[in-house]
Amino acid sequence: MKNKTMKHRFLLFCLTAIILGGCKTKTTEAIDDQDEEIQAKVADLVSKMTLEEKIAEMTQDAPANERLGIPYMKYAEALHGMWLVLDYYGNTTVYPQAIAAGSTWEPELIKKMASQTALEARALGVTHCYSPNLDVISGDPRYGRVEESYGEDPYLVSRMGVAFIEGLQGTGDEQYDENHVMATAKHFIGYPENRRGINGGFSDMSERRLREVYLPPFEAAIKEAKVGSVMPGHQDYNGVPNHMNTWLLKDILRDELGFDGFIVSDNNDVARLETMHFISESRTESAILGLKAGVDMDLVIGKSVDLSSYHSSVLLDTLTKNPELVKYIDKATSRILTAKYKLGLFDTEPKEIDPKTVDVGKKEHQDFAYEIAQKAIILLKNENKLLPLDKSKISSLAVIGPNATEERPEKGTYSLLGGYSGLPPYYVSALEGIQNKVGDDIKINYAKGCDLLSNSKEGFSEAIAAAKKSDAVVLVVGGSRKTGGEGVDRSNLDLYGVQNELVEAIHKTGKPVIVVLINGRPLTINYIAENIPSILETWYLGMHSGDAIADALFGDVNPGGKLTVSFPRSVGQLPVTYLERPDFIGSGKGLYKDSDKSPLFPFGYGLSYTTFSFSAPRLAQSDIAVDGKTTVSIDVTNSGQVTGDEVVQLYVRDDFASVGRYMKLLKGFERITLEPGETKMVSFDLGFDELSILNTDLKKVVEPGTFTISVGSSSRAEDLKTTTLLVKG
C-alpha cells in the first residue's frame, strides 16, 4: 500500500509539472520498472551478505565491499559550498551562509547554488551531503546554529529547503544523475526549541507546536523535493531522545509523511543515548534502541569515539544471539544500498581523488556566489540618506573594526565565512572590497580598533585618529565562527568584547558613521540603532563578502534583502519571533515594565535606497466556500529615484477560529525589481494551504468565517495593507 501511495504521489507531481510548463519526466511505468529493478538487486545483494558485511554498510562511510562489488558512498557537508568534514580542500566555492542566502527571499538562487555545489561534490567524489538545515529558528538567537537556518518562519524555510534539495539532487530525469548528489534534511525535529539556547538542549513542546512550526519544512522536503536522507537532532523530544523516538522516526516520518529514504544519525548520537541521555547502560543497548527506531546509518565523525555504535564488534554477538533483530539490519542495509543504486554508484568506476590538490571551483560558481551576496544585504537604517556614499564628495574614508579584514589562516578556513565553510581560493574582506572599489580616488584610513574576543581598548586611539582625519567612517563589527556556530552558544547577545564601546568612541568623533554587521545571529544593538545613522546587516556573505559590501556602500547595488529572523532588544525579551499567539503580548495589550515589547527589527524588514508604495490588496472573489480558491493582487510602485528590489509578502490570519493560532502567518512572497516610476502587479493564491489551521484534533481544516489578508513589505502592521476574505461553510 505504501509503495502504491508513493507512485500515485509521483504521478500527480509529474502531471502537474507537465501542465505548468513541461519538465523532463520519466513515465510512471519506467519509474516503477526502475524501482522494482533496484529493489530486486538490493534484495539479491542482502541475501548474499554476511551479518558483518551488512553492519559495515551502516557506518557513515558506507564502505565498499569488494567481494560483492558494492561501491563506496562518500559523505560531506554542503550547507553553503563543499566542506569535507575535519579536512579542508582548496578552491571550493564558498557561498553566503544560509541565514544570508535566505535573506535574498529568492528560492531560485538557492536552487542554482545547490546545483553548482552538487557539481563540486561530484568532482570531489562526494555523493551524499548532510544538507540542508531545515530547522525553524524559534526566537532564541543565543543558540549558535541560527546562522545555518533560513529563518524563523516555517513557510519560508520550506520554500528555501525545497529549492536547495531540488538543486542538489536534481529533478525528473536528472535526479541523482552524474551531476547531482543526495541531500540530507536535518535536524528532525524541533532542534532549535532548546532550553537556554543551548545546542542539544532538550525540547519540551506540544504536538501542536511541533506540527505548526517545525514539521512543514520536512513535509515539503519529502513530498515535494523527494529528499533522499534525513538526520535526527541531538536532543530529546518531550523526554524521548530523537535517535530512539519511534513515534517521530516511524509513525511521523515514515508512515505519515511517506519518507522512504535512509536515516543517518547526527554525530555520535546513537552512543549518546548512553553517554548524554542516560537511557541505555551500554553502547550495545544504545545501538539496538537506535536500530529499532529506524536509524539506518551511524555517523561518528573523526572516530572520536570508536566506530562501534553499529559496528560488528558491538552488534554481532547480540544479533547472533537474538536473530529476531536481524530484520532491522536487513531494512537498514537495504535502504543504504538502494541509495547507492539510485546514485548510479554501481555503474561507475570509483576515481582516486586527492581533495587537497583537486581544483573544483569554477569562475562561474564564484561569480554566482558574488551575485547571491549582493542580493542578501539588508539595509536596517539610513537616516538622512547617508547611504549610498558619493565618491565625488569624499576624499578620505576610515575603515575600522575587528571584522574589517582577515588574513588567510594557516589551518582551517576564514572565521568570517561562518560555520560549515570550506576553504575558498580567496576571500575578499570588507577592507579589500572597499579598496578595490575606490582605488586611488579616495584615501582609506584603516584601523582595527579592537580584537573581536578581547576586552583591550589599546587600539581605540588609533581608530579614533583614523576617524577624525576622514570624511566618513565604515565601522565593521559583529561576530565570527569564534563567537557563533555549532557548539558556540551565548548567554547574551551584545556585541562581543569591547566592540560596542568602540562604536560609542567613534560616534563621539562627530563623523558620519556607517555600521556594517558581519555576524551569524541577531544581536542586541540598541546603541547602534539609536545613534548610528546607517546600518547594513550583511551576515556571512561568502568568498566575495567585501565586494558585495562595497557595492552596497557606494550604490552600485541597492540593498534589497529582508530579515528572516527578528532582532530582540534584550535577552530578557526572548523568545522574539513574529509568530505570536493572541496572549497579552501577542494581542498588543501586554507590556514590559522596562522595555518596548516589539522587536528592535522585525521579521521581513529591510529598507532600500528607493521607496515603494503599495495599493490596497484586491481579491478576485471576496467570499468563497470552505473548499474554494481565490487570488489576492496588489500593485507595487517604485516611487523613488533609483532602481530597486522589493520583497512583497503575504500574511494570512483566521480572525475567529476553534483554536488559538498565530496572529499572522507568512503564506507567500515574491521579490521583484522595479525601475523608478514602474508599477508591477503581484498576485498570490488563496486556498486550502493558505487558509487551513490545525483543529482540536490536529487535522488541517478550513473553518468558515473571516480572514485578514495582509500584503506588504514586512511583518510589521504599519508595513502591511489589508483586506478581508469571507469563507462560507
What nine digits make up the cell of 479? 561576530
pLDDT of res. 200: 83
Question: What is the pLDDT at residue 9?
Answer: 40
Per-residue pLDDT, 1: 40
77: β partners: 83
Task: Please tell me the predicted confidence (pLDDT) of residue 309.
Answer: 44
* Residues 3-28 as b or e (16 or more Cβ within 10 Å = b): eeebeeebeebbeeeeeeeeeebeee
**From residue 566, how far is each of 190, 416, 523 by CA, in Å?**
19, 22, 10
Strongest mean pLDDT among 159-168, 194-203, 321-330, 344-353: 159-168
CB 437 within 8 A of CB 550: yes
Confidence (pLDDT) at 587: 55
pLDDT for 320 beyond 90: no
pLDDT category, 10, cuts 50, 70, 90? Answer: very low
The pTM of the whole model exceeds 0.85: yes
Give me the chain's average pLDDT, please: 91
What is the three-class DSSP state of 505?
Answer: helix
Measure the N-to-C terminal CA separation of the chain; round to a whole number of Å: 34
Under 8 Å between Cβ of 164 and 116: no
pLDDT at 305: 43
Q: Angle at Cα 509 formed by Cα 504 and Cα 511, nearest 5°?
A: 105
Q: Report the run of H or E that residue 65 belongs to, with start and end.
A: none
pLDDT of 177 strictly over 90: yes
Distance from chain centroid for Cα 462: 39
- Residue 139 CA to residue 158 CA, distance in Å, equals 17
Residue 30 or 148, more confident = 148
Is it the case that residue 656 has pLDDT exceeding 70? yes
- For residue 357, is pLDDT > 80? no
Q: Is 69-309 a CATH 3.40.1190.20 domain?
A: no
Q: Is the pLDDT of residue 6 over 60?
A: no
DSSP string covering 657-710: -SS---S-EEEEEEEEEE-TT-EEEEEEEESHHHH-EE-TTS-EE--SEEEEEE
Q: Which residues contact 623 (CB under 8 A, 6 or more apart)?
A: 725, 726, 727, 728
Closest CA to 602 of 515, 670, 522: 522
Q: Which of 59-63, 235-239, 691-695 bottoms out in mean pLDDT, i.e. has the lowest?
A: 59-63
What are the extents of the domains in the chain? 69-309, 363-554, 612-727
Q: Smallest Cα–Cα separation from 119: which of 164, 168, 76?
A: 168
What pLDDT sits at residue 354? 74
Do residues 97 and 418 make contact, with C-beta atoms less than 8 angstroms apart? yes
Could you read off the pLDDT of 580-593 as tens digits, one per residue? 888 765 555 556 77
CB 693 within 8 A of CB 701: yes
Task: Specify the pLDDT at position 18.
Answer: 31
* pLDDT at residue 549, rounded to an integer: 99
Report the candidate in 270, 147, 225, 199 with the shortest Cα–Cα distance to residue 520: 147
pLDDT band for position 610 (50/70/90)?
very high
Compute the average pLDDT of residues 705-714: 98
- How far, in Å, CA of 399 to CA of 444, rounded? 7
pLDDT at 468 over 80: yes
Confidence tier at 88 by pLDDT (50, 70, 90)? low
pLDDT at 16 over 70: no
Percent of the chain surpassing pLDDT 70:
91
d(CA 93, CA 426): 9
**Residue 669, φ and ψ in degrees, nearest 5:** -160, 155
In angstroms, what CA-CA distances link 422 with 110, 129, 549, 622? 18, 14, 21, 52
pLDDT reported for residue 7: 40
Per-residue pLDDT, 313: 58
pLDDT band per the 50, 70, 90 thresholds, residue 20: very low
Question: Which CATH number does 612-727 carry?
Answer: 2.60.40.10
Q: Is the peptide bond before 575 cis (omega within 30 degrees of 0)?
A: yes
List pLDDT tens digits, range 100-136.
999 999 999 999 999 999 999 999 999 999 999 999 9
Alpha-carbon distance 234 to 306, whole Å? 19
By C-alpha distance, which of 598, 566, 485 is closest to 139? 566
Express each pLDDT in 258-309 by its tens digit.
Answer: 999 999 999 889 889 999 989 999 888 888 999 999 999 988 875 544 444 4
A 10 A CB-CB count for 692 gives: 16
Single-letter amino acid, residue 319: L
Written as nine digits, the cell of 653 is 490570519
| Count of Cβ atoms closer than 10 Å to residue 706 Cβ | 14
Pick the CATH number of 363-554 from 3.30.559.30, 3.30.70.240, 3.40.50.1700, 3.40.50.300: 3.40.50.1700
pLDDT at 84: 82
Count how many residues are written for the chain: 729
Q: Which residue has the cell 520554500?
A: 159
Q: Which of 135, 140, 266, 269 is catalytic?
A: 266
Cα 56 to its chain centre, rounded Å, is: 32
Which has more pLDDT, 77 or 11? 77
Q: State the pLDDT confidence band at 31, using cuts at 50, 70 and 90.
A: low
| CB 288 within 8 Å of CB 282 | no
Environment class of residue 175 by beta-carbon count within 10 Å: exposed (0-12), middle (13-18) or buried (19+)?
Answer: middle
Q: Closest by alpha carbon to 464, among 509, 526, 404?
A: 509
Given this model, what pLDDT does residue 17 score? 36
Q: Over 90: is that where the pLDDT of 547 sits?
A: yes
- Give dist(CA 721, CA 636) in Å, integer: 11
Nearest-CA neighbor of 430 among 562, 561, 551?
Answer: 551
Supply the DSSP symbol for 210: I
Q: Answer whether residue 600 shows pLDDT above 90.
A: yes
**Is 266 considered catalytic here?**
yes
